Structure 1
């Protein structure tokens, strides 16, 4: 899974690094979503700047507004199935 990982707090030119991470496996009650679109909102900017450094352990994949397609469901998920279009925040 290719991500832009927050590796330090500060300016956008030094805060992120492109990384390849293992594909996550959804746990009970979770879904795995292939992200098709996302945005940068004020919360993302504040997180990058370090406003929430006590709540965010680095390195971290941040982002709060996402739309995509469910690719896998974990145990106990009944309301979603692979192929469903979803969005979340």
Structure 2
């Protein structure tokens, strides 16, 4: 799967790099979502800027606001099924 990885803090033009990574498997209580849309919120900007360097290990895939379709569920994620939006 293709990700935009935060590789350094600071200027957005130099902070991110495109990378192929293995598709993750959902763990207990988790779902794997094919992201169809995302946004950038103030926390993402602060993280990229370096405000949370002590909490974020680089490289990192940041961002929490997504919309998409469930493609796989982990054990105990009983409220979701593949295909759920």
In the superposition, the TM-score normalised over structure 2's length comes to 0.98
1:3-42 map, 5 Å: 3-42=3-42
Are 2:72 and 1:75 equivalent residues in the alignment?
no
C-alpha offsets along residues 20-64 of structure 1, whole Å, 9 cap, x if unaligned? Answer: 000000011100000000011111000000000111000000002
Query: What 5-or-longer segments of structure 1 have no aligned partner?
Result: none
Are 2:61 and 1:61 equivalent residues in the alignment?
yes
The residue aligned with 1:48 is 48
| 4+ aligned runs moved over 3 Å, structure 1 | none
Q: What SS does the corresponding residue of 1:46 show, helix, strand or coil?
A: helix
